[in-house]
């Protein structure tokens, strides 16, 4: 007879519960990773492009923008210091400083504006990793840099958010309104209502896909707070952010506001010279009407 004690087997219920917990943790980690990949897709960005272009262009100077949580953002000030309009640009997903230098040059000329452009954290030449709250910190840092280091006055500044950039631009506008130091105006280019709204559009088969969203970017929830001039435009054939989401967001704004529907898609808004000039002309007219 053996003197060794019998091996105690864990009850089947406990083993199943342990396995279920482990699978749930794996699923949650996977969902979070998918959220990050969907909101901030890992698109390759050429970190050499912007510094190289900056040495070639006479209308650009490179800047470094410190954030409140210790990250340094790479940016450009593009356009003449004498320009009366100052625009902080919040770019779309996968966009970064450099590739659209010529487009911004045309816009600065037509609007008589100077731009502050910057890479979000984790984009191209900026350190860190992108997240919803990280982009809000970046927006705050850009505002502080513009008003502090550059000496821009809030009444000179227009915030321009394109696509994903609508999120931090709207957040910053709402924040500055509460602080009683609002920007002069807000420009929204093909924005979405919220990330949960996008999830419902893209993954209706999940029944409640919004329950799986870690990032919210609740633009439509903040819209009623935006009591400042808003110029908004959207492509009627937008294949990335549904036109109807932009329209719903615009309808929720308390005004004054202007809506421009365009015969194009998401990434082709500026491809046609005539359409681009018309957008800028309408934008300049709207900003002038409201002292921006």
C-alpha 218/C-alpha 227 separation (Å) is: 17
The model's pTM: 0.86
Question: Residue 181 CB: number of other CB atoms within 10 A?
Answer: 14
Confidence at residue 207, expressed as pLDDT on a 0 to 100 scale: 55
- When mean pLDDT is compared across 2-16, 70-84, 205-219, the lowest value belongs to 2-16
- Picking from 195, 83, 108, the residue whose alpha carbon sits closest to that of residue 160 is 108
Residue 8 — very low, low, confident or very high, per pLDDT cuts 50/70/90? low
Q: What confidence tens digit (pLDDT) does each residue in 200-230 have?
A: 666 565 555 555 656 689 999 999 999 999 9
Nearest to 74 by CA among 97, 102, 42, 54: 97
**Reported confidence tier of residue 42, pLDDT bands at 50, 70, 90:** confident
Determine phi and psi for 219, rounding to 5 degrees.
Answer: -60, -45
Residue 12's pLDDT band (cuts 50, 70, 90): low
Taking alpha carbons only, the member of 168, 143, 163 closest to residue 86 is 143
Average pLDDT over residues 90-96: 94
3-class secondary structure per residue, the chain: CCCCCCCCCCCHHHHHHHHHHHHHHHHHHHHHHHHHHHHCCCCCCCCCHHHHHHHHCCCEEEEEEECCCCCEEEEEEECCCCCCEEEEEECCCCCCCCCCHHHHHHHHHHHCEEEEEECCCCCCCCCCCCCHHHHHHHHHHHHHHHHHHCCCCHHHEEEEEEHHHHHHHHHHHHHHHHCCCCCCEEEEECCCCCHHHHHHHHCHHHCCHHHHCCCCCCHHHHHHHCCCCEEEEEECCCCCCCHHHHHHHHHCCCCCEEEEEECCCCCCCCCCHHHHHHHHHHHHHHHHHCCC
Tell whether omega for the bond before 240 is within 30 degrees of 0, i.e. cis: no
Q: Kindly tell me if the per-residue pLDDT of 25 is higher than 60.
A: no
Banded model confidence at residue 27, pLDDT cuts 50, 70, 90: very low
Token pair of 274 as six digits: 């005539």
Which domains are seen in the chain, by residue range?
19-289 (3.40.50.1820)
């Amino acid at each position: 007879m053996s003197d060794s004690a019998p091996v105690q087997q864990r009850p089947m219920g406990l083993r199943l519960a342990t396995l279920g917990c482990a699978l749930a943790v794996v699923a949650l980690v996977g969902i979070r990773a998918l959220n990050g990949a969907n909101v901030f897709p890992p698109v390759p960005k050429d970190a050499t492009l912007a510094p190289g272009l900056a040495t070639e262009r006479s209308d650009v100077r490179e800047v470094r923008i410190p954030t409140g949580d210790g990250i340094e953002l790479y940016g450009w000030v593009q356009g003449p210091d004498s320009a009366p309009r100052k625009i902080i640009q919040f770019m779309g997903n996968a966009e970064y400083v450099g590739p659209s230098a010529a487009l911004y040059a045309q816009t600065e000329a037509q609007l008589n504006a100077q731009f502050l452009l910057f890479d979000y954290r984790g984009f191209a030449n900026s350190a860190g990793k992108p997240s919803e709250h990280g982009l809000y910190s970046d927006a705050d840092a850009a505002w502080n840099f513009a008003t502090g280091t550059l000496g821009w006055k809030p009444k000179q500044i227009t915030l321009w958010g394109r696509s994903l950039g609508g999120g931090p631009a709207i957040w910053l506008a709402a924040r500055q309104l509460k602080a009683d130091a609002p920007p002069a105006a807000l420009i929204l280019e093909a924005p979405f209502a919220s990330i949960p709204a996008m999830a419902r559009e893209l993954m209706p088969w999940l029944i409640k896909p919004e329950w799986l969203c870690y990032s919210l970017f609740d633009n439509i929830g903040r819209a009623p707070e935006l009591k400042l001039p808003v110029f908004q435009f959207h492509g009627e054939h937008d294949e990335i952010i549904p036109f109807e989401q932009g329209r719903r967001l615009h309808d929720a704004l308390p005004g004054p506001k202007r809506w421009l529907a365009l015969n194009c898609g998401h990434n082709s808004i500026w491809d046609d010279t005539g359409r681009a000039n018309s957008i800028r002309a309408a934008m300049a007219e709207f900003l002038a009407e409201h002292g921006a």
